Every structure is written in structure tokens, then in C-alpha cells.
Structure 1
Amino acid sequence: MTDRVLVIVPTYNEAENVERIVERLLTSVPEAHALVVDDGSPDGTGELAEKLAARDPRVHVLRRAGKAGLGPAYVAGFRWARQRGYDVLVEMDADGSHAPEQLPRLLAALSGADLVLGSRYLPGGRVEDWPVHRLLLSRLGNRYTRWLLRLPLTDATGGYRVARAELIDRLPFDDVASQGYCFQVDWAWRAVRDGARVTEVPITFTERAFGRSKMSRSIVREALVRVTVWGLRDRLADWLPGRVQRPVPGRPRDGGRSSAVR
């Protein structure tokens, strides 16, 4: 592999998981580098990540002042990566729900794509150890998102993904306001409407063994409200061409909606 690969791992109170996930990552893809983006974890996650970085030059740490949400953490990681010339950027959770051992398959799929999404809901994908209500919420959320935004994706909310740096440079991340997992929907939609080649690869998602989930009612509420507003504004733009400006995300450079999503 000639491309420089950076795996961005946002953390907040993940001291029980961060060392384990970084070690698994570097074993699975030895040529990759890892960037731990820590949002001021009070449990010492940032300090632990810095110890890992001191031992291994492939590990880097970006420490932020406080908890600002998943979206801003990834955007900060994207900027850090591009300033240092990484060619391929990977999103991966710190809690072990995304198996680093599956990353080579996602990287291989990038040969014919600009963005590769790890999908829990494609044939061959699955979710392990989730309670029924959580699985139902995820499935319904993805169906609602797919229908309202007209997204040809089975798992737009998933956070295990690989992108070419050129695509990151193209998309207007400066105006991203989404903080929770809605950020994943936000920029997947931007990529599709930009005309990016997007593909999905089945993955196995496993519930965390240690620590507490960051999912909350406010995160779910943010996603529901934002997706609904984006979708309704987008459909209104179809009815009133020339009078309603298309929402951001979603202003394709060629004025069309075509995408190479597979």
C-alpha cells in the first residue's frame, strides 16, 4: 500500500478501550497510523493515548479542551490529517464496536470508490449483543433517512468508513453543525450529492464490552430533527425550482443528483 492511511479515533472517557483498539488496529493494518482525538476526557484517556504515542511513532494524539461532539472531533481530525499529507482517512469508534480486523476489506473497496461505508445491514453484515430496542431504533432511523433524503445507502448512520482525502477536501465541512451520529448522515449525504463514488461493505458491529455508550436522547433528537428539515427542504426545492435554495448539505457541483453509489 502506497497511500498514507490515518485512522481517526475520537474518544471521550475511553480509558478502558483506547489501548486495546489501537493495538488491534496496528496489528491488523501495520502500515496505518492512528490519531486519537480526545475531547478532554476526565478519566485519563488523553494521557493514556500520549503514552501509546510515546512508544509507537504510528500513534498520534490531538487533545481538545472539552467535549464538543463527534462531528467536530472528526472535522478536527480531518484537518490535522490533511495538514500532514495523509491520503486515506478512516473513521473508527474507540469502544471496539468496529473491528480493526475488518479494515483491510474496507481499504480494498476504496480502489473503486471515493467513500466506503461499513454497513451493518447489507447481506453479510450483522449486529451483535445489542438490545432489541437499540437495533430497532437503528434500523428505523436508517430507513427513515434513506426514504426522506433519497439516499441509496443501507447504513447512512454507521461510523466505520474510509474516504479518499480528495473527497474530504471537496466537501464543505466548515459549515457542519451536526454533533452526534447525525454527522455521519450529514457528510454521507454531502458526498452522494457531490457525485462521489460511494460503496458499502458488510461489517459485523459488536456492542462495547467496557465503558458507557455515548448514545442519548439528545443525540437521537438531533438526528431526527436535522434529517427531517433537510429532507423537507430538499423536496420543497423540487416543487419550487429557482425560488428555494437547496439546503446544505446537498448542492451538487453539476446541479444534478446522480451518484455512483453501489
Structure 2
Amino acid sequence: MKIVILLPTYNEKDNLPLMVEAIYRLDLGVNIFIIDDNSPDGTGQVAEELQTQYNNISVIHRVKKEGLGKAYIHGFYEALNQNYDKIITMDCDFSHDPQYLKQMVFLARKYSLVLGSRYVVGGGVDGWSLWRRFISRGGNIYARLLLNLRYKDLTGGFKCYDAKALDDMNIGTLCSQGYTFQIETTYRIHSKGHKIKEFPIIFKDRVYGESKMSFDIAWEAIKILPKLMFKAHRKKEN
């Protein structure tokens, strides 16, 4: 399989070199697209320096910060244009432990979408406050009930997509950002009948930098998920 990892970055100059080295040491034969949204801390320059050190890195410089969803969509198009078979998305702050990549790549041989899940047996979170645990759990339950999905972790960003599933998803019409983007992509792939597999991961709070969680991200989920539900009901009626 021809595999690429998408690493979106915004102010991740401390984490990026460590993450690239950790992935490289796994010797999985994967390539990396670093997608930087013009980070003011110089992450883009760090990415350029890493590109000269490693032969499996490409750097995508975006003009401004437009949200996680648009960064991933940019990466999806680049990956599809370069005929990758599998496209992995993950955070650059080590909340997604790169050691899980081996199991993810193994499962990707059988499934169109592989989800690193905090909420299946064996999964969990480390370093979160009770309030953040409540928000995450509540958001997942809300999405599952609203969209009638059985998957336990719909808001996680550690995922491996099959290129065919991305094509079927019609990525140019995705309307979400942030955590809702993760829900919408899984929902669309599920709706097309693709096989999806969750496997347990321990999600660790970031060591360096600041969390990207914000009120705007949570509010987006409240607004957009009912629209997805409405579209689903209309399709069933037609």
C-alpha cells in the first residue's frame, strides 16, 4: 500500500521534529505531508528544514489559518492526486501516539476507514479534566443518537481513510471544521456502505503548546449535526 500521513500544524515548532522522528523510527515506509497554516511561531520553516533531512516529507504551506477541516481537505486532494492508497490523519502534539500506527496500517488492509477510538474497550484518555471528559463523551453520544451511528468515538482525529472512500465521500462538499469535521467524514463513509473499524487508543493531553479546543468548535457541532440528520432523513424518504 502507498500510504501518506497528513500532519496539520499551527504553532507546533517544538512538537513537529519529535513527531517526524518518531514516525520515521517506525520504518513503516510511509510518507508525510506537513500542512502548515502559516504558523506565526515559525513551524513552517521548521518543516522546510525537516524536508531537507528526511526523504519522505513534503510541505504544504497555506496562506492563513482556516480550520482543521480545510487543512485536511487540502491534504486529501494532494494525496488523491498523487495516487495514495491510504491516507492517515493525526495530531502533531503526541495526543495520538505514533506507536499505534502499526496496528492502524495493519487494519487498513481490510477496512475503508480505521478509527483510533478512546471509547471502545481498552481505550481511554489521559490528562483531561472532568469537564473536558464530560464534553467529549456528551458530544459523542449526541452525534451517535442524532445520526443513528454505532461507532463509539466520532470526534477523534486519528483515522486512516481508503482513497476510494475519500472519493465516494465527495470531499469538495464537506461543510464542517474542527471536531464536527471528524463526525461528518465518518458519517459520509458509513452512508456509502464502506467497512469501518474502531480500535482502542489512549489519548494523551498535549505536552507542548496550547489546546485548539474552543467554544466555536463546540457551537459548530450543535448547529451542523442537525443539518446532517435532516439530509439523512431526506435521502431515506427519496
- Give the Å deviation of 1:236: 6.3
Superposition pairs of residues 175-214 of structure 1, within 5 angstroms: 175-214=173-212
Unaligned runs of 5+ in 1: 243-262
Superposition pairs of residues 52-201 of structure 1, within 5 angstroms: 52-201=50-199
Q: Please, what TM-score do these two structures have when normalized by structure 1?
A: 0.88
Q: Return the alpha-carbon distance in structure 1 between the equivalents of residues 181 and 125 of structure 2.
A: 21
Cα deviation 1:20-71 (Å, max 9, x = unaligned) = 1111111124411111100110100011011001111111110000001111
Deviates more, 1:77-86 or 1:209-218: 77-86
Cα deviation 1:128-161 (Å, max 9, x = unaligned) = 0111111110011001101110011000110001
- Code of the residue aligned with 1:33 in structure 2: it is N
Q: Secondary structure at the match of 1:35?
A: strand
**2:214 aligned residue:** 216
**1:250 aligned residue:** none
How well do the aligned residues superpose, as a CA RMSD in angstroms?
A: 1.3
**1:18 aligned residue:** 16
- Contact 1:126/1:203, CA 8 A, preserved across alignment: yes
Is the alpha carbon distance of 1:190 and 1:236 closer, same or farther for their aligned partners in structure 2, counting shifts above 3 Å? closer
Displaced runs of 4+ in structure 1, greater than 3 A?
232-238
- Give the Å deviation of 1:170: 1.8
In percent, how many aligned pairs have the same letter?
Answer: 37
- Contact 1:29/1:104, CA 8 A, preserved across alignment: no
Is the alpha carbon distance of 1:201 and 1:29 closer, same or farther for their aligned partners in structure 2, counting shifts above 3 Å? farther
Q: Return the alpha-carbon distance in structure 2 between the equivalents of residues 157 and 211 of structure 1.
A: 21
Q: Please, what TM-score do these two structures have when normalized by structure 2?
A: 0.96
Structure of greater Rg: 1
- Contact 2:28/2:102, CA 8 A, preserved across alignment: no
Cα deviation 1:158-204 (Å, max 9, x = unaligned) = 00011111211221111112121111101100000011111101111
Q: Return the alpha-carbon distance in structure 2 between the equivalents of residues 87 and 237 of structure 1.
A: 29
- Give the Å deviation of 1:94: 0.8
- Give the Å deviation of 1:104: 0.7
Q: Return the alpha-carbon distance in structure 1 between the equivalents of residues 231 and 162 of structure 2.
A: 29
